[in-house]
Chains A and B, each alone.
Chain A
Amino acid sequence: MPHQVTPQVALANERTFLAWIRTSLALTATGGALVALDPPVHPGWLLVSGGVFVLLGIVTAIHAWIGWRITNRDAGRGDWEPTLPLGGVIAVGVVVATLILCFGAFFA
């Protein structure tokens, strides 16, 4: 059966992918800026917090690509259902990284 995705679904999928990529860039920039700006936070905690932000950025970039491919494939079959398995992980990760930063500020 030929792969036929409607323009509406294809374009929505593309915009979702781009939103995830922008999220990835924002997470990476946050982690890098935290370390580069050197705020009054204990250096060890600061590096861990920045590292967590950047790791979330890596995971988000990978998820963006895989999610786009899966949605494009499943939409062609007509059995596509929207899923957001990584949304919770990103949210929890950001909270954890922020808490680490707060602890670092407390122990500075």
Chain B
Amino acid sequence: MSRRSRGRLPDGADSHDPGPMRPPDAFDLRTLTALAWRRTSLRIGAVSIAGAQLLVLYYGPAAYLLAVLGLASALIMHLSASRRYVKVSHGIRQGEHHAGIARAGVRVGVLSIFAGLVALATFGWIVLEAYVL
């Protein structure tokens, strides 16, 4: 049995040929990446609301401030990623090869710090609970 017949490509198909089996191009990858950013921002919003619902039992309605902050962060991230997606897609259509695709450093850094701070705050709260216990 040849490697091709066992692999994903059907007989006679070439990965460089256009068609249903072709590898994803820059537009597909842009869309996938934009969707990943949107999925992450939705996850941040959902975690914020769920966390606020739980913390209301301990700290009262003030905990909803957490949900507001989380939703605002998620919205900013969603808008920022979507704007970049539109801008880069426009650049690719105009014939720019990279169109600033690799310039995500600030957004990546901010999101890492945000996730780290949320985790640190949660850990601090658990330590506080242990101290009360």
Chain B residue contacts of A65, Cβ below 8 A: 108-109, 112
Q: Is B129 part of the binding interface, using a Cβ–Cβ cutoff of 8 Å?
A: yes
Chain B residues numbered 88-133 whose CB sits less than 8 Å from any CB in chain A: 97-99, 101-102, 104, 108-109, 111-112, 115-116, 118-120, 122-123, 125-127, 129-130, 133
Instruction: Report chain A residues within 8 Å CB of B58.
Output: 36
Inter-chain contact B125/A32, CB cutoff 8 Å = yes
Chain B hits for A18, CB < 8 A: 33, 36-37, 39-40, 111
Does B55 contact A36, Cβ atoms closer than 8 Å?
yes
Contacts of A17 in B (CB 8 A): 108
Chain A, 1-36, CB within 8 A of any chain B CB: 5, 7-8, 10-12, 14-15, 17-19, 21-22, 24-29, 31-33, 35-36
**Nearest CB on A from B69, distance (A):** 15
Which residues in window 32-84 of A have CB below 8 A to B? 32-33, 35-37, 43-44, 47, 50-51, 54-55, 57-58, 61-62, 64-65, 68, 72
Q: Is residue B47 within 8 Å, beta carbon to beta carbon, of the partner chain? A: yes
Contacts of A43 in B (CB 8 A): 133
* CB of B122, distance to nearest CB on chain A (Å): 4
Instruction: State how many residues of chain B have any CB contact under 8 Å with chain A.
Output: 41
Q: How many Å from the CB of B86 to the closest CB on chain A?
A: 15
Q: Is the CB of B37 within 8 A of A32?
A: no
B-to-A contact residues, CB < 8 Å: 26, 29-30, 32-33, 36-37, 39-40, 43-44, 47, 50-51, 54-55, 57-58, 97-99, 101-102, 104, 108-109, 111-112, 115-116, 118-120, 122-123, 125-127, 129-130, 133
Listed A/B pairs (9) with beta-carbon separation below 8 Å: A5-B102, A11-B26, A18-B111, A19-B36, A25-B44, A32-B126, A50-B126, A61-B115, A68-B112
Interface residues of A (CB under 8 A from B): 5, 7-8, 10-12, 14-15, 17-19, 21-22, 24-29, 31-33, 35-37, 43-44, 47, 50-51, 54-55, 57-58, 61-62, 64-65, 68, 72
